[in-house]
Amino acid sequence: MYLYQKQRRYFAQVTGGLEELAIDELKELGGYGFQPSYRGVFFCAESKNLYKIVYKSRIITRVLAPLVQFKISDDKTLYGKAKSIRWSDFLNQSRSFRIFANIAHSEIKHSQYAAQVLKDAIVDQLREKTGERPSVDLKSPDVVINLYIHNNKATISLDLSGESLHKRKYRKINTIAPMQETLAAAIVRAAKWDGETPLYDPMCGSGTILCEALMHYCKIPAAHYKDKFGFMYLPEYHEEDWLFVKKLADDQIRELPQNLVFGSDSSPEAIKAAGENLNTFYQGISVNLKVSPFQNLKNLSNYTIMTNPPYGYRMGNESELQLTYKIFGDFLKNECKNSLAYVYCGNRELIKFIGLRTSFKMPMKNGDLDGRLLKFELY
Ligand SMILES: C[S@@+](CC[C@H](N)C(=O)[O-])C[C@H]1O[C@@H](n2cnc3c(N)ncnc32)[C@H](O)[C@@H]1O
């Protein structure tokens, strides 16, 4: 029996700072027995709920099912232990695979090398058994295997998501500083936005917050546009259960009312990208977009403002940005009365230039950036 079969315990990979929000979401989707850990949360779930979690979670990046765990000192141990797994439970010659390896504080230093050793063990075993070898596919593999080595303890897991869950398939054009989809979803969740007030992103860039807000309001499952998931390669995968879970979720999809979601940006290219991304959804037509600097927007009272101003590392110049943050603070104070504003700031040095009192400051990472989500209650 594999570890996940014995314990019904899985690992949800989560970006730093989103753990609590992820636990909250997992609870809603039927997870239990949470144990926060480095870069994620262990949780338990019955199989239907597991499918639901992979299909609907907006905040989790990957869901892993641990197969084996062992102490490791060198590549021979890794090769030997990897060969003790019956890989034909998951792979055959018609299924392609790929390995993701992540290593920290261990005798084995190079993740590429460790991934190669694991790959050799898998291929050798299947070739010895069946005379055939499964192919490696780095772009669109069926089976994704995860190797994690930390303090000389290795865990080999099957990735139940397959492709990373942050890839929702709505991103058509890459702009300069798009926000990670899971982070934008976490902001919508942290704001508890439920469509009672209109939502406005005055620096919407490629529209990630708008897309996530639309998906949230319209109850579109986060993985709605994907057709292949890692859990389909589990030996106990039950297709009827999956189709049941999917139908139940898809049946809840609803319209987006007019004049509920708005976005603007000073850059015409950004608005073009946002329009194309939103076009993925038939509800996207109801999102109001325009090219405008936020300085020209008037009277956004009783709104939920959600935005991610430029932060200097990838775009803009720091002293110019200090002024932009000050002017943005004035805009919130003067034009957004009785609104709530959620501002994700990738550069903490700039926060003070907004010049308004925050009701909370939530640490949230965007890739390597240790940013903060700020909440302002405007009167
Ligand atoms: C960090 S990016 C936002 C990224 C966005 N969240 C996304 O996922 O694509 C900041 C955006 O602010 C816009 N911007 C900068 N100054 C602005 C201003 N004065 N008025 C409106 N938009 C502005 C930039 O064009 C850029 O698209």
3-class SS at 376?
Answer: strand
The answer to whether 362 touches 337, Cβ cutoff 8 Å, is no
Q: 143: closest CA among 122, 112, 124, 129? A: 122
Specify the long-range contacts of residues 352-358, CB closer than 8 Å, at least 24 apart.
353/321, 353/322, 353/323, 353/325, 353/326, 353/329, 354/325, 354/326, 354/328, 354/329, 355/326, 355/329, 355/330, 356/329, 356/332
User: What does CATH list as the number for 181-222+260-377?
Assistant: 3.40.50.150
pTM: 0.95
Say yes or no: CB of residue 179 within 6 Å of ligand 1: yes
The residues of the chain that CATH labels 3.40.50.150 are: 181-222+260-377
What CA–CA distance (Å, rounded) separates 26 from 42?
10
User: What does CATH list as the number for 3-159?
Assistant: 3.30.2130.30
Residue whose tokens read 């509800």: 283
Q: If you take atom 10 of ligand 1, which residue's CA is the nearest one?
A: 310
Ligand 1 pocket test, pick from 199, 266, 291 with the greatest ligand atom count within 8 Å of Cβ, gives: 266
Ligand 1 pocket test, pick from 182, 261, 265, 335 with the greatest ligand atom count within 8 Å of Cβ, gives: 265
The residues of the chain that CATH labels 3.30.2130.30 are: 3-159
Q: Give residue 186's pLDDT.
A: 98
- pLDDT per residue rounded down to tens, the chain (379 residues): 999 999 999 999 999 999 999 999 999 999 999 999 988 999 999 999 999 999 999 999 999 999 999 999 899 999 999 999 999 999 998 999 999 999 988 888 899 999 999 999 999 999 999 898 889 999 999 999 999 999 999 999 999 998 888 888 899 877 777 899 999 999 999 999 999 999 999 999 999 999 999 999 999 999 999 999 999 999 999 999 999 999 999 999 999 999 999 999 999 999 999 999 999 999 999 999 999 999 999 999 999 999 999 987 555 577 889 999 999 999 999 999 999 999 999 999 999 999 999 999 999 998 888 999 999 999 9
